[in-house]
Amino acid sequence: MLPMLTTDIYVVSLPELVAHFQVQRSTVVFTLASYMLGYAMSLLLAGVFSDQFGRRPVILVGLSVCCLASIGCTLSDTIYELILFRFVQGLGIGCGTLLARVVVRDMYDFKNQISVLSKLSAVLALSPTIGPSIGAFLSDVWGWKAPFYFCSGVALAGLVLSASTLSESLRPEDRAAFSLRRTVRLYGDLLTSPHFLSYSLIISFGWAVYFSFVASSPFVFRGVFELSQFECAVLFGAIMILYSVGTQIARRLSSRVSVVSLLCAASIALFVACQLVLALSARQGHLVTFAATVSLVLMSVGVIFPLTQAEVVRPYKNQVGAVSGLFYCIEMVFGAATGWLVGTYSDSPLEVLGLIFSVSSLAVLLISLARFRKASVEFS
């Protein structure tokens, strides 16, 4: 949960950072984009190193870096220092997103992986559900630095728990000595694999939908709909509950419906809901209607994420860390690009959100339909 918490807990305070540092809104939004870049790099490094040294030591190092970088955020005197420390924060904590799922891959067979990953996604959804409310309270009482102190405390708690209770899930005989040539060859093979590319792009465009909402929501809710910081946090959390519902739908149906069929159905629902958001953004529809439609978008994304996470690594028996690292790295690069778009066009947050929703959901739908068609042909 920590990788998302480090963003969700302060995202509603972005307008306050604009006033504190006396910069443009687009500059403040780059604290999100820089985090995604560090996050992406972390995923690549954590995947390769975890295959060589094991999962546990990489998790401990990453949590330590995140804890220190979170404190560094509180010491920032300029927005550019904050952007830098956010990058380092992402560089440390990317191991959490990656290795929590790799450990699942180490310990469970494919049938149980979707169930466990859905439960992880449901816990992960606690962050956007409660994180903004906690952040709004902390920043209202103690200022914008308080959420980062909170994150450093959570990272420290995670470090202590991991050091004392987490056992190594990668057996010594399964570890792979690092070879740059072999790693480059593996990545080359993955980037030309239709299976890997398909699921990587599905989750990446899905993440573009998710992250564009996270990055633009404070400016949409507070700037367009004129909500208070606390009202923004509560509404954000309420919408994210539907994301958690989506993960549970994936968990319950994956044992009865094929992954490609369920993924295709969720992609259709995502596309329809995103086009409705685009239509509402064009005429700035009522807040309740907008929130309800975005909730359907997030629920569809909640179905898609655990399915792609389980399916992408299914053909690979070795170097799962490296495979997963590249998979999530591509996803976070899309997040960084989305953050850049939201920041660059922050004066029109609702319109940009609708456009990103529309284009990204179309890409998810087309790729999912292609995978469904391929699976149908193979079955025939």
- pLDDT tens sequence for the chain (380 residues): 888 788 778 777 777 888 888 888 778 878 888 888 888 888 888 877 887 888 888 999 999 999 999 999 999 999 999 999 999 999 998 787 778 878 887 888 766 777 777 777 667 767 766 777 787 788 888 888 899 999 999 999 999 998 998 888 777 766 766 667 877 888 888 889 998 999 999 999 999 999 889 878 877 887 788 888 778 878 888 888 888 888 888 878 877 888 888 999 999 999 999 999 998 887 766 888 889 999 999 999 999 988 888 788 787 776 677 787 788 888 888 887 887 787 777 678 888 899 999 999 999 999 999 988 877 655 54
In the three-class reduction of DSSP (H, G, I as helix; E, B as strand; rest coil), residue 257 is classed as: coil
Q: Could you give the angle at the alpha carbon of 157 between the alpha carbons of 151 and 160, nearest 5°?
A: 140
Closest CA relative to residue 38, chosen from 96, 86, 97, 91: 91
Q: How far apart are the first and last CA of the chain?
A: 41
* 137 Cβ neighbours under 8 A, 6+ residues apart: 230
Give the whole-angstrom CA distance, residue 319 versus residue 52. Answer: 9
- H-state helical runs in the chain: 2-11, 14-21, 25-53, 55-74, 79-107, 110-124, 126-142, 146-165, 180-191, 194-219, 229-253, 259-283, 287-312, 320-344, 349-379
Look up tokens 């993924």; give the residue.
Answer: 263
336-357 in b/e burial notation, b at 16+ Cβ within 10 A? bbbbbbbbebbeebbbbbbbbb
Give the whole-angstrom CA distance, residue 17 versus residue 10. Answer: 10
What does DSSP assign to residue 255? T
Encoded tokens for 194: 């239709």
What is the pLDDT at residue 284?
Answer: 67
Give the whole-angstrom CA distance, residue 249 versus residue 253. Answer: 6
What does DSSP assign to residue 347? T
Give the whole-angstrom CA distance, residue 176 versus residue 178. Answer: 6
Closest CA relative to residue 147, chosen from 180, 155, 273: 155
Encoded tokens for 4: 């998302």
Q: Could you give the angle at the alpha carbon of 99 between the alpha carbons of 97 and 100, nearest 5°?
A: 70
Please report the domains of the chain, with CATH numbers, ordered by start residue.
2-165+178-379 (1.20.1250.20)
By the 8 A CB rule, do 351 and 281 touch? yes
What is the pLDDT at residue 257?
Answer: 83
What is the pLDDT at residue 3?
Answer: 82
What is the pLDDT at residue 178?
Answer: 65
Encoded tokens for 343: 């920041």
Encoded tokens for 360: 């990204």
